[in-house]
Amino acid sequence: MWKEAGKEFPGNFHGYFVVLGHQTKRIIMQPTLLLKAFEKAEREIQSAKPTHLAQHLSDYIQEQSGEAYGEKSLRNHCSAAKKGNPIDLKKYVADALSVYLGHPTFEAFVKAQPPLPQKRRGLVFTYAWPIAGVLIAFVAIFIYYQIKAQRWMV
């Protein structure tokens, strides 16, 4: 039975888990990257209009990577990042914005950022599965003894 269940998991399960963790941090850090790039662009071109900032960054991405990325896409991603929604930038965009901020690659930008604070879970959430298991065991034992108890007809 266990051999059959083991076939369901990929051979490099740990490798996939590590990649997933990196992917999650990448998506979490992209809004930070974009917002910092917009702040730097605002200081450089002395304009607070999102269209001008996005056009400046779009031109920089075009020069840096050789691929076009529209200013409207940058504005949409920036407004989503300000709202706290996750965004997923293309790799060449993230790398170009990282270079704009003074880092050689996006990975270097991520490493330069302070670690994300770990959320502390409450005591109930930490031990939820063991508590649920004990409760189910008690209910099962109670039901078993109720079914097996002898009943006398009077």
DSSP sequence for 49-116: -HHHHHHHHHHHHHHHHSS---HHHHHHHHHHHHHT------HHHHHHHHHHTT-SSHHHHHHHSPPP
Structure tokens at 147: 């079914």
SS3 for 101-132, per residue? CCCCCHHHHHHHCCCCCCCCCCHHHHCHHHHH
12 has a pLDDT exceeding 50:
no
Q: What is the mean pLDDT of residues 14-37?
A: 67
Q: Does residue 136 surpass a pLDDT of 60?
A: yes
Model pLDDT, residue 18: 39
Q: In the predicted model, what is the mean pLDDT of residues 17-27?
A: 54
Q: Do 94 and 30 form a contact (C-beta atoms < 8 A)?
A: yes
Predicted confidence band at 17 (pLDDT cuts at 50, 70, 90)?
Answer: very low
Contacts of 21 by beta carbon, 8 Å cutoff, 6+ apart: none
Per-residue CA distances from 137 to 11, 49, 90, 131 (Å): 35, 62, 50, 10
What is the tens place of the pLDDT at every residue in 28-47?
889 999 999 999 999 999 98
129 confidence band (pLDDT: 50, 70, 90): confident
Residue 99 has pLDDT above 90, yes or no: yes
In percent, the amount of the chain with pLDDT more than 70 equals 78
